Amino acid sequence: MDSAFVTLLGMLAATCTTVAFVPQVIKTWKARSSRDLSLGMFSVLATGVAFWLIYGLIIDDLPIIAANSVTLVLIITILIMKIRFDRAERKQEILEKIKPQK
């Protein structure tokens, strides 16, 4: 099979799987809430994507490198928002519990 076609196919697949994370990043940012997201799942996913990136670098495969680089940035963005927004939500819940009732 033509290597240019195989590379194009890989780039198309990489684009689809990478772009799939963009709506979640936008939704989480707009809602300022990540309560429904699993920290464990995104942590394991980030680890797996990092391994894919390392693998792509070792075999020098552009579609794997490009997709996993961007995907890792998006997943790390989601993880940072998850940690920050969860912390803020917990703080707000505590403040509401100790706030004197009128």
pTM above 0.85, yes or no: no
**Per-residue model confidence (pLDDT) at position 102:** 61
Structure confidence by residue, pLDDT tens digits, 33-51: 888 889 899 999 999 999 9
36-39 — which CB contacts under 8 Å span 24+ positions? 37/78, 37/82, 39/79, 39/82, 39/83, 39/86
Structure confidence by residue, pLDDT tens digits, 66-79: 999 999 999 999 99
Question: What are 21's two structure tokens?
Answer: 């994370």
Q: What is the CATH number of the domain that holds 82?
A: 1.20.1280.290
Q: What CA–CA distance (Å, rounded) separates 70 from 89?
A: 28
Helices within the chain (DSSP H only): 3-19, 22-31, 39-59, 62-98
Domain count across the chain: 1
Whether 3 and 63 have beta carbons less than 8 Å apart is answered as no
Give the domain range for residue 43. 3-98
Q: What CA–CA distance (Å, rounded) separates 29 from 81?
A: 7
Proportion of the chain above pLDDT 90, given as a percent:
49
**Per-residue model confidence (pLDDT) at position 53:** 96
